[in-house]
Every structure is written in structure tokens, then in C-alpha cells.
Amino acid sequence: MERERRYWLFKSEPGCFSLEDLKNTPLMTEKWDGVRNYQARNLLRDEIQPGDYGFFYHSNIPEPAIVGIVEVVREGYPDYTARDPEGEHFDPKCSFDKPIWYMVDVRYVRHLERLVTLDEIKKQPALAGMELVKRSRLSVQPVRTDEWEYLLHLGGISLRERICPQTSLEM
């Protein structure tokens, strides 16, 4: 029995990796790597499943905003960048047997019709419970279904549209 789809918010610094970059990646799939926070790790390892959707959020820019939608295509697996001594995300405490850190793979689905800025999100009472508003530092965070739908609406996507995973187009 498949569990119900859940929703997430994935952050990225567009200067480092943007939604456009994901769209232009071969197969439109990328690894969500380099997360070094235990709370986020637990989500990546235990909660986030293929078929789940996520908002793609651009952080650390003058106007941070949700810009689009991605789909999780691979469940959590050990983040091997933690074992690369040359890499930026190296963690000497990790080994093959004890990975510590995890990542998932995500696929580009679509951009929002218009982006939803953090400023706008903060003004919405319906979104006051979001992690993004309350404690903004988690790099991947859960989004409730009602929040998801509200944000789709703000992003110019009608609730009657459906996001088709196969074609990246709404039906």
C-alpha cells in the first residue's frame, strides 16, 4: 500500500544550484546533497519518499522565494560527498559503514507561474506555521497539504490543475 504523497520544501542558493540548473541537468535529475544537519538528515533518510513533491526555494539572495516544483525520484541514500576529502562537504567522521549524512534525488517538474517571495509568505496568516517563517534555517522542511495548496495558488497554479509527473506539464 503506497503512502499518501507528502510535500517538502528544498532550499538552494541559486548561485550554487538553481531550479534552472536542475531543469538543464541531463535527465532533469539531481542529487540533493551536502546537507549537514541532523534534523534535515532524519527527513532525508526516513521520511522523504519517491513520488513526494517539493517546492524549490532560492535562498541567500536579495529576494528569497519559492520558484518551482520538484519531485523526489530516489529515497534517501548515503551522501558520498561526505567521504570525499577533496570536496566541500567532507566530514571526516563518516565512513562507508557509518554514512551519517543522506541525500535524495529530485527531478524538475515546473516553475511556478509567478514566484512567491518570502516577504509574501510572511504576510499570509495561513502560512504562519511554516518552518520557513518560524525557524528558517532548516534546508529541507515539511510542508502541510493545506500550505502546499495555498502556495500553489499564490504561485499562479490553479488548484484544479494537476501537475503531471510524466510530462512536467499541468493537465
Partner DNA sequence: GCCAACGTTGGC
DSSP three-state, residue 38: helix
Binding marks (x or -) toward DNA, 140..169, rule CB under 7 A?
Answer: ------------------------------
Span interacting with DNA, options 25-33, 131-139, 152-160, 162-170, rule CB under 7 A: 131-139
Please identify, among the stretches 23-31, 34-42, 46-54, 71-79, the one whose residues bind DNA according to the rule CB under 7 A. Answer: 34-42
- Report CA-CA distances (Å) from 109 to 12, 41, 147: 16, 23, 19
Of 37 and 49, CB closest to DNA = 37
Are the C-beta atoms of residues 74 and 50 closer than 8 Å to each other?
A: yes
Contact 73, 52 (CB under 8 A): no
Does residue 138 touch DNA according to CB under 7 A? yes
Question: Which of the stretches 59-67, 68-76, 104-112, 163-171 binds DNA when contact is defined by CB under 7 A?
Answer: 59-67
**CA–CA separation, 61 vs 46, rounded Å?**
30
Query: Does the CA dihedral 47-6-103-9 come out positive or negative?
Result: negative
Out of 20, 24, 38, 46, which residue is the one contacting DNA (CB under 7 A)?
38
Does 125 participate in binding DNA (rule CB under 7 A)?
no
Are 145 and 10 contacting, i.e. CB atoms less than 8 angstroms apart?
no
The residues of the shown chain that bind DNA, judged by CB under 7 A, are: 11, 13, 36-39, 59-62, 64, 93, 118-119, 122, 135-139
